[in-house]
Amino acid sequence: MDNFSHHKKLKADTTSTRTTPIGVLLPLVSVLFVVLLVCTISIWFSSTSPQFSDSGVSLQIERGMSVQKIADAAEEAGIVRSALFLYIILTYTYDPTRIYAGTYRFDEPHTVYEVAQKLARNDVDMSLLSLTLPEGITRKEIARIAEERIPEFDTDLFLELTKNNEGYLFPDTYFVPEDFKAEELVNLLAETFSTKFSQYSGAVASSTLTEYEILTLASLLEREANDEQSMKMVSGILQNRLNIGMALQADASIEYVLDKELQELTPEDLKTDTPYNTYLYPGLPPTPIGNPGMLAIQAVLEPLPSPFMFYITGNDGQFYYAKTFEQHKKNIREQL
C-alpha cells in the first residue's frame, strides 16, 4: 500500500514540472509574427514607387545591358526603390533576354511589378526625339543640334546656362520629349557627365593634372587624334611638352576660338593673339575646347609613354611621330 502511494506521488510530481505546449509555442509564434511583419513591410516598401518627379522619368536601356544594370539604372533614376527586387521579378517572372533596347517613359508612379511588366512587354516610348551629340562637340554645336531637333528650343538660354560648362556636357545619344526645355537639357548633359566621370575619381586624384586640366587636354585630343591608340600617343606627347614648358602648338585650340574647321586655318590664323593660341602661349588653353568622351578622358589618364615630342597626321590618315624638330620637318615634307 505504501509503495503504491509513493509511486502515485512521484508520477504526480513529474507531471507537474513538465512545460506545457502553449508555453513553448507562444515565444516562437511571437518571433515568427515579427519576422513576417518585417518581411511584409519590406516587400511593400520595395514594391511601391519612390517620390516621383512631376515631369516624369525616362529609362534608357542600351543594347547589351545586363538585367542587373537595367535594375540599377531604374533605381538610380528613381523609378523603383529596390534594384534587387526589380532584378528578382525580371529574372524569375519574365524572360529578361527579350527586353528591347530603347527609352521607356514613366509619367506617373508605378509599383515595381508594373515597372517589370512595362519592360517585359517592350513598351518603348516612340514619341521621343533622338539627339546624337558626337565626342568633342562644343556647346554651340550642341545648341544648334538641339534647335534643329527640338521645337521651340531656347538656344540663347542654353548658351547662357552653359557659358562656364564647356567640357562638362557629356556627348552621347539622348532621347528626349518634344517639349524638352533648355534647362532640362543642361541638367541631363551635366548629370550624365557626373555619372560617367565618377568612375575615374581615383585616377583623377592621383594625376598630376587637375580635373579641369584633364578635361581641357581631353578636349584637345578629340580634335588632334582620331582613335584610341592615337589619342594615347598624342596624349603622351602633349604631356611631354607640358612637363618641360614647351608650347603645345595644337591647331585645334585656334580652330575653337576662330570657329573655323582645321583644314580652313591659314598661316595668318596661327599668329592670332589669343590665350587659345597654343603656338604663342605655352601650356593648356584657358578652357576646354569641346566636350570630350570617355576614350579621350581615359587617354589623358593613361597616356602611352614615348620619347616623341612631335606628331603630324599624314594625308593617308596615319600619325607620324618624331623626337626632334628636324625629324618632324622631314615627316611634314614626306607626308603632307
Same domain for 184 and 115? no
Same domain for 80 and 111? yes
Query: Residue 216 above 50 pLDDT?
Result: yes
Q: What nine digits make up the cell of 61? A: 536601356
Chain centroid to CA 117: 26
Residue 125 carries which DSSP code? -
Same domain for 168 and 205? no
Residue listed under C-alpha cell 599668329: 271
Whether 316 maps to a domain, the answer reads: yes
Which of 87, 120, 153 is the last residue before a domain boundary? Answer: 120
Please tell me the distance from the alpha carbon of residue 307 to that of residue 324, in angstroms, as a whole number: 10
Same domain for 221 and 311? yes
Whether 40 maps to a domain, the answer reads: no
pLDDT of residue 14: 47
Domain that holds residue 310: 200-335
Residue 152 carries which DSSP code? T
Residue 305 carries which DSSP code? P
pLDDT of residue 241: 95
pLDDT of residue 25: 63
Same domain for 163 and 267? no
pLDDT of residue 287: 96
Across 54-63, 263-272, 294-303, least confident range: 54-63
CATH, residue 162: 3.30.1490
- pLDDT, tens digit, 9 for 90 and up, residues 112-143: 888 888 888 877 766 678 788 999 999 999 99
Query: Residue 158 above 80 pLDDT?
Result: yes
Same domain for 109 and 141? no
Please tell me the distance from the alpha carbon of residue 243 to that of residue 135, in angstroms, as a whole number: 27
Once rounded to an integer, what is the mean pLDDT over residues 82-96? 86
* Count of domains observed in the chain: 3
Whether 180 maps to a domain, the answer reads: yes
Query: Residue 316 above 90 pLDDT?
Result: no
Whether 81 maps to a domain, the answer reads: yes
Whether 26 maps to a domain, the answer reads: no
Q: What is the band of 257 on the pLDDT scale with cuts at 50, 70, 90?
A: confident
Please tell me the distance from the alpha carbon of residue 215 to that of residue 288, in angstroms, as a whole number: 6
- pLDDT, tens digit, 9 for 90 and up, residues 196-211: 999 999 999 999 999 9
Same domain for 208 and 166? no
Which of 199, 219, 234 is the last residue before a domain boundary? Answer: 199
Average pLDDT, the chain: 83
Whether 219 maps to a domain, the answer reads: yes
pLDDT of residue 212: 96
pTM metric for this prediction: 0.66
Whether 148 maps to a domain, the answer reads: yes
Same domain for 208 and 303? yes
Taking the chain, what is the end-to-end CA distance rounded to the nearest angstrom? Answer: 128
Whether 107 maps to a domain, the answer reads: yes
pLDDT of residue 55: 62
Please tell me the distance from the alpha carbon of residue 282 to that of residue 248, in angstroms, as a whole number: 6
Q: What is the band of 178 on the pLDDT scale with cuts at 50, 70, 90?
A: confident
